[in-house]
Structure 1
Amino acid sequence: MKKSINYLIALLSIALICKTSYAQNNNITIEITRHDDKSVDLTYKKLLPGSYYLELELNDLTNCNSGDFKGVINNYTGVLLRLKPNNDKQHINFSYSYRYMIGVPNPNIDSSFTYILPFKNGKKFKIGESSHVGEKYLGHERPINWKSYSLNSKNPDTVCSMRKGIVVKIIDDFENNETKGTFFTNKTNEILIEHADGTYARYINLKHKSMFVKLGQTVYPQTALGIMNEYGAENYRLSFQIYSYYYTNFKEKDKQLKENESSLKFIAPKFITQNGIVNIKSGQEYMAGFNETVMFKEFRKSEQKKYKKDPTLFN
């Protein structure tokens, strides 16, 4: 008979990368199941969607030669380790600690991948490169690879997904009057989407209670995400970033944080427009456009058939 217990005290240490890391207490918990044959399973439960890098370390391990886990977990539940005893007449004893962060460390990214601009097909905006708020307002050093875009509008336009992915974070806590009339605030509503290759797209400054998507939802290019929020006295603004995580372990990450103030690798991808595929140049106008080659790049065949039959299902 299997008997599932929380065996010994787990020391949970969550290392925060920066605001965009979103590691949360008790998102991932570890459970231990002891079997009659003296083997032990260490399993996890994850509350939030998306990929997480997890390190599980076994300490004072006896009656077993193998242990420790370092890797990426994607599912909501799963087995991390199965321990088998050297002597099946005795128990395996140990203590353990674990920690985790959002993201796939150092993913293999296709630098030629083409994104769709984050607004509806046919819409035109002037896109600029955003300054680093830490550098501009707090005197911090600008990260070497910093890349963030922004666009202004006189109207509260719809923000769209640039690529197929999964919604892994939604912040929708701030009333619009908290940001109205300000040019710098950390009280912004936003959506974070994880892509299949381990990159993320962050859509910043969305109107409160305007979100069209839910946590864990799969979105597609041109899927409506939310509405642009006010910025300053007369404009509406969207800021957006594309990045991946580059840490390899927590000790190295801590060192990198002190040196670079970031464990993110920002990306400046190619975008498809009405005038072809381009690299964005700050201060120029671009009109959103796409073709089936770009749109269907990450679609399954069944999704392509559904889209061709009724594109509105993907909006």
Structure 2
Amino acid sequence: MKKRILYLITFLTIIGINYKLISQNENITITYERNPDKSVDFSYNKKLPGSYYLKLEFQNLMNCYQTVYEDVIKDGSGHLIKLKPIDSKQHVNFSYKYSSIRGNPNPKIDKSFNYVFPFKTGKSIKILESTSLKEKYFNAEKDSNWKSYIVDRINADTIYGMRKGIVIEIVDKFETDSLDEYIYTSSMNKIVIEHNDGTISNYIGFNKKSIFVKLGQTVYPQTKLGVLNIFNNSTYRLYFDISYLKETNLDHSKKRTLNSQSQMEHITPYFFNSNGSLIVKNNNEYLVEIDEITRFKEFTKREMKQYMKNPQVFN
């Protein structure tokens, strides 16, 4: 059987830009309404779930003090800002532009939070630390905070949630040619989940049409996410990491190079273990475990009641 070594790496992956810029036409729409008192209300509609940092800037502003709106929007729609006239008898005139980036910049996170390994409890898994592609293949500077993990399996295992969160992105369009042997490919199906504290987890490596969750769905520790896809003929591989937005540079005019640092900050997570919290060590084997404190840590009272009645709903 002929093997081919494929280097399918997109430019964004090479330079480590794993944040997501969304144009206003695709995701966020801003509208305004003039009021009888000559003030102007600005509102937004957002198509995609999750937190987005939004910057709204006004130009040629007349009959109003200069102002800029910068904040994180989470709901599907809402009010942004009201422009009030200096002279109540005259209209406020303006032009405006806006930009957005997915994430909540510099959130207050608990870096000691206990995650659950993304496999079924009772399984034993060996975890490798993933190499930075731009450092390994392009002799470029690695992101100072790089931290990502790999788990290889001999079977198409089911992947499970590490923590409660909202599904904010699903990619489910790539199929793998089983004749190919990969060094790395960016053409992999994935699930992205935002947690309550603003951290974001990436799960990469799912088989097409084998993802169980939906966009906007709330998932929990040990919720089934999907089934792994084949990688390198006989291996089934999961890439996973946890990060958050550390910068809000929305200047599209600045060119990013191989040595540009990512706007996302990776964290080194702690994982639950019956003997205490642990940090993953490269090429070590771990047992997937969970206890009630870890499972229910972020449950609401209503979710607790639902779980007691029907725990299968949360799997």
Q: TM-score, normalised by structure 2?
A: 0.89
CA gap 1:295/1:102 in 2 versus in 1, 3 angstroms: same
| Cα drift, residue 193 of structure 1 | 0.3
- The aligned residue for residue 111 of structure 1 is 111
Taking only aligned residues, the RMSD between alpha carbons, in angstroms, comes to: 2.3
**Cα distance in 1, alignment partners of residues 139 and 183 from structure 2:** 17
Q: Bigger shift: 213-222 or 32-41?
A: 32-41
| Cα drift, residue 86 of structure 1 | 1.7
1:134 alignment partner AA: K
CA gap 1:276/1:249 in 2 versus in 1, 3 angstroms: same
Contact 1:106–1:248, Cα closer than 8 Å, also in 2 = no
Q: Does 1:203 align with 2:231?
A: no
CA deviation profile, 1:160-188 (whole Å, cap 9, x unmatched):
11000000011111113289522211101
CA deviation profile, 1:191-250 (whole Å, cap 9, x unmatched):
100001010000011111111001111101111111111111211010100001111443
**Cα distance in 1, alignment partners of residues 186 and 55 from structure 2:** 30
CA gap 1:214/1:167 in 2 versus in 1, 3 angstroms: same
CA deviation profile, 1:224-282 (whole Å, cap 9, x unmatched):
11111111121101010000111144359969988643111111111013554211111
Contact 1:256–1:263, Cα closer than 8 Å, also in 2 = no
- The aligned residue for residue 250 of structure 1 is 250
CA deviation profile, 1:1-50 (whole Å, cap 9, x unmatched):
xxxxxxxxxxxxxxx99552222332111111112221111111111000
- The aligned residue for residue 50 of structure 1 is 50
- The aligned residue for residue 232 of structure 2 is 232
Sequence identity, in percent? 46
- The aligned residue for residue 71 of structure 2 is 71
**Cα distance in 2, alignment partners of residues 69 and 126 from structure 1:** 47
CA gap 1:175/1:207 in 2 versus in 1, 3 angstroms: same
**Cα distance in 1, alignment partners of residues 143 and 278 from structure 2:** 24
Secondary structure at the aligned position of 1:134 is classed as helix
Contact 2:223–2:314, Cα closer than 8 Å, also in 1 = yes
Q: Does 1:95 align with 2:91?
A: no
1:24 alignment partner AA: I
**Cα distance in 2, alignment partners of residues 162 and 110 from structure 1:** 15
Q: Does 1:305 align with 2:305?
A: yes
| Cα drift, residue 114 of structure 1 | 0.4
Count the aligned residue pairs: 300
Contact 1:247–1:253, Cα closer than 8 Å, also in 2 = no
User: Gaps (5+ residues) in structure 2?
Assistant: 1-12
CA gap 1:195/1:84 in 2 versus in 1, 3 angstroms: same
- The aligned residue for residue 173 of structure 1 is 173
User: Gaps (5+ residues) in structure 1?
Assistant: 1-15
- The aligned residue for residue 184 of structure 1 is 184
**Cα distance in 1, alignment partners of residues 178 and 60 from structure 2:** 51
- The aligned residue for residue 163 of structure 2 is 163
CA gap 1:178/1:107 in 2 versus in 1, 3 angstroms: farther
- The aligned residue for residue 4 of structure 2 is none
**Cα distance in 1, alignment partners of residues 254 and 274 from structure 2:** 43
- The aligned residue for residue 273 of structure 2 is 273
- The aligned residue for residue 6 of structure 2 is none
- The aligned residue for residue 134 of structure 2 is 134
CA gap 1:228/1:129 in 2 versus in 1, 3 angstroms: same
Q: TM-score, normalised by structure 1?
A: 0.89
| Cα drift, residue 304 of structure 1 | 1.5
- The aligned residue for residue 35 of structure 1 is 35
**Cα distance in 2, alignment partners of residues 197 and 253 from structure 1:** 31
Contact 1:129–1:149, Cα closer than 8 Å, also in 2 = yes
CA gap 1:254/1:272 in 2 versus in 1, 3 angstroms: farther
Map 1:285-300 → 2, pairs under 5 A: 285-300=285-300
**Cα distance in 2, alignment partners of residues 276 and 21 from structure 1:** 32
Secondary structure at the aligned position of 2:95 is classed as strand
